[in-house]
Structure 1
Amino acid sequence: MSPKIILFEDNDRLRESLAYLLKMNGYNVAGDFNNCNDAASIARTYEPDVVLMDIDMPGKTGIDGVSLIKEARPETAVIMYTVFEEEEKLFKCLCAGANGYLLKKTPPSKLFEAIHDVVEGGAPMSPTIAKKVLGTFQVKPDSTKYKLSPREIEVLQWLIKGYSIKLIASEMQLAFDTIRSHLKNIYQKLHVNCGKEAIAKALSERIV
């Protein structure tokens, strides 16, 4: 079954075009909105699998919208769909709970791939955003601050690349429960509550 999608985009023409494109390719677009002021109630009402969220909108920003959706319905995956490439906005979105970050110039085929990836637990990012993320690792990484073990650092690196627990276990040839245990230890050491917060902290503090 195709994932249920909600769109938040204040550019009416772009929003309508995007909704049409998704519907024509078999996606279930349950609703589209020009602001995210009521994002929490919308998430509870429509129960979407995926939300495509613009950042710069009237009223509450898309970053606020992510927080509202995650509080109302944590299982909904949110992909930021924006023109902004600044690291500050990227980190704020991840801290708010965003599951992916795509630029609006992303080709439709890559957008479709990202939707399926995020449903499977991945964290899709546009190539230029991923490059920017990787660039943060080149500036004095310090994994000793939080006393992460070499194995935990490796797990965290896979997590940052957008891999789900299942995929990390496959790549590292370890049991699913072992990876989950490593992640639990990582969260405790980094003083975070979830994978998205761990990614945001690792990137902003250049831990790995």
Structure 2
Amino acid sequence: MNKNLRIVCIEDDEILRMGYESILSGVEEFNFIKAYASYDLARKSLETDNPDVVLLDIQMPGTSGLQALPLIKRALPNTSVIILTVFDSSELVFEALTLGAGGYLTKDSSSSKIIDAIKEVSTGGGAMSTNVARIVMRSFQKNLNSPLTKRETEILERIANGQTKPQIANDLFIEQETVRSHVKNIYTKLDVNSKYEAIKRAKERRFI
């Protein structure tokens, strides 16, 4: 494994930034370069920082993590990016991986998991939290002939997990009215009249 891996963290929560710096600075193989509160603050310095690995939050002021990800990969194609976020929706996971993320961890990951993930992506591997890996595995087990769109599937999965419309709207950064519209389309496509029927039918047909 490479020695002295150069690491940059982009995270808007000051306590988390300090925590990551404290944890990672104590690892012999790591060289913690700097922590930034947003991509907009990091942008001008990233190429000079020349990190091997960037820990990147999704929800930040200004440019979001998902918006920043392709910009980072374009400027630093040899840099590995690990998404480190509270959000673990399938849509966000797959968008991040499609955009070039080398790993996707949730913020409840242990210190050892984060350290192992950095080492893993630095050698070309992928790193995921257990719950994120489960999301990826489930995607391969679904019925590919589902009439539901990716967004409708995501919303129905969240409903099945007990989330309310306001919670779904907040997590997916969309309006509640948009969620209601998707739910209406789900009911129509599945020919049902309630969320319980929708969940039952979707699970029976492996749409979720």
Deviations 1:64-123 (A, max 9, x none): 121111010110000000010101111111122111101111111111111110001011
What is the match of residue 91 of structure 2? 88
How much does 1:141 deviate? 4.8
4+ residue segments displaced more than 4 Å: none
Identity %: 37
How much does 1:140 deviate? 2.6
The CA distance in 2 between the partners of 1:22 and 1:105, in whole Å, is 16
What is the match of residue 77 of structure 2? 74
DSSP-derived class of the 1:31 partner: strand
Q: Which runs of 5 or more residues in structure 1 are unaligned?
A: 143-208
What is the match of residue 2 of structure 1? 4
Q: Any conservation in 2 of the 1:49–1:76 contact (CA below 8 Å)?
A: yes
CA root-mean-square deviation: 1.4
Q: Which runs of 5 or more residues in structure 2 are unaligned?
A: 146-208
DSSP-derived class of the 2:112 partner: helix
With the length of structure 2 as denominator, give the TM-score of the two structures: 0.65
The CA distance in 1 between the partners of 2:95 and 2:140, in whole Å, is 18
- Counterpart of 1:12, as a letter, is E
Q: Does structure 1 residue 64 correspond to structure 2 residue 63?
A: no
- Counterpart of 2:63, as a letter, is K
What is the match of residue 119 of structure 2? 116
Of 22, 25, 31, the match for 1:23 = 25
Aligned residues: 142
- Counterpart of 2:112, as a letter, is S
Q: Does structure 1 residue 97 correspond to structure 2 residue 103?
A: no
Q: Does structure 1 residue 53 correspond to structure 2 residue 53?
A: no
Q: Does structure 1 residue 132 correspond to structure 2 residue 141?
A: no
What is the match of residue 158 of structure 1? none
Structure with larger Rg = 2
Q: Any conservation in 1 of the 2:36–2:42 contact (CA below 8 Å)?
A: no
Q: Any conservation in 2 of the 1:6–1:48 contact (CA below 8 Å)?
A: yes
